[in-house]
Amino acid sequence: MPVKSCRTRLSGFGRYLPLLGLVLLLTVGACSGDNTESAPAKANHGGGHPGGGGPGKGPAKPAIPVAVQAVVTGSISSYYNATATLEADKEARVLARAAGVVGSLSVEEGDEVAAGDALLLIENGEYKLRLMQAEARTLNLRSRFERMEAMLAEDLTTQEEYQAARSDLASAEADEGLARLDLGYTTVRAPFAGRVTQRLIDLGQNITVGTELMVLADFMPLLARVHVPSREFNKLQQNQAVDLVLDSNGTRLQGRITLISPVIDPTSGTIKVTVEVTDYPAGTRPGDFTQVRIVTERRDGTTLVPRGAVITEKGETFVYITADGEGEDAKPTAERRLVTTGFADDDHMEILEGVAAGDRVVVKGQRSLKPGADLKILEGGSRETGSK
């Protein structure tokens, strides 16, 4: 009876042996996973793998490629910038001084003329006849005066008759002069050398005294008039060089200050400054818009960095310079320097405080830098900017 009972129990337990074996197998596998690390995992932990960061450290970050330039000492200026319209030095509307019909045109719009050149002719037959009448009357009265002069010498006439003959001759001579002047007005001439910019009449048109005939302008030199704040008055000088850039094609011109108004405009608080431009391309014309840049102050022997090297973020202005890393094989690192800036031009920024001549400032790649980052100086990226 006991033997039979034991076999019965063993037979029932045997049903669970396969399941128990599976549980033991899974348990052993889990324990093996806790105590064994794969080769890739060890490599990621720097376990002696080349390029690792050492035991317990992450992978080394690659050096950031940058271009640098040396901080230099040079000269820089502050500018007053304005927009102006180029104007002709002289411009005049030529008016008729004699009435009549336009008989011929000697020039057309765009033609260049010299002072005194004929612009047009008014039909002048009537004016010639008037001059002939005046000349005849003058000749007659001159003969009469000469007879009176001879008679007075022999006491054959009175002093009153002599003076009357003399007065009549003077009046006739004046009339002759006016007739000759009126005839001269029928040929309209250029008052100065320049270019015809407008023709306002046509051939055969009947005109009166005062009719506008043509517009004449002198393009040499061209002028730009700008209004500078009065606080800059003492910084400007006559004959001072001025830079100009044409809006139409970007052409750069050089001018000089010729006039500085002695008075301040009370409504705007500005002073009118006239800039003269004598050398310009053939296509430049009055009416072109131009950007005018006038130097108001110049500083020599100041610290300069490339303008693009200066970064302004969150109210701070700074640059990155290169610093020597620690260790024999260490790479240069980025050092963030707060700076105080001064004047700026197209290429450079003046640094009043923060860096010194000889420092190497990052000019390319600085936007992605963080303080202490390893740097890879690009070949040819370190060069002198040169003094201005």
Structure token digits, residue 153: 């010498």
* 305 and 243 within one domain: no
Q: Identify the three-state secondary structure at position 8.
A: helix
User: Measured between alpha carbons, how far is 40 from 384 in angstroms, rounded to an integer?
Assistant: 47
Q: Check residue 4 and give its pLDDT.
A: 46
Let me know if residue 374 belongs to a domain. yes
Q: Identify the three-state secondary structure at position 314.
A: coil
* 221 and 290 within one domain: yes
Let me know if residue 100 belongs to a domain. no
* 368 and 378 within one domain: yes
Number of domains in the chain: 3
Per-position pLDDT tens, the chain of length 388: 444 444 444 444 445 545 445 444 444 444 444 444 444 444 444 444 444 444 445 566 788 999 999 999 999 998 889 999 999 999 999 999 999 999 999 999 999 999 999 999 999 999 999 999 999 999 999 999 999 999 999 999 999 999 999 999 999 999 999 999 999 999 999 999 999 999 999 999 999 999 999 999 999 999 999 999 988 878 888 999 999 999 988 899 999 999 999 899 999 999 999 999 999 988 888 999 999 999 888 899 999 999 999 999 999 999 999 998 666 667 889 999 999 999 998 899 999 999 999 999 999 998 889 999 989 888 655 444 444 4
User: Measured between alpha carbons, how far is 303 from 341 in angstroms, rounded to an integer?
Assistant: 10
* 174 and 133 within one domain: yes
User: Measured between alpha carbons, how far is 48 from 238 in angstroms, rounded to an integer?
Assistant: 75
Predicted structure pTM score: 0.61
Cα maximum dimension of the chain: 204
Among 133, 164, 185, which residue terminates a domain?
185
Measured over the CA atoms of residue 365, residue 371, residue 374 and residue 379, the dihedral's sign is positive
Whether the Cβ atoms of residue 245 and residue 291 lie closer than 8 Å to each other? yes
* 231 and 177 within one domain: no
* 224 and 279 within one domain: yes
Among 298, 319, 335, which residue terminates a domain?
298
Q: Check residue 381 and give its pLDDT.
A: 52
Q: What domain range is 326 assigned to?
A: 64-76+300-384
CA nearest neighbour of 258 among 231, 223, 232, 282: 223
Print the SS3 string covering 259-291: EECCCCECCCCEEEEEEEEEECCCCCCCCCEEE
- What CATH number did the domain enclosing 332 receive? 2.40.420.20
Let me know if residue 211 belongs to a domain. no
* 83 and 227 within one domain: yes
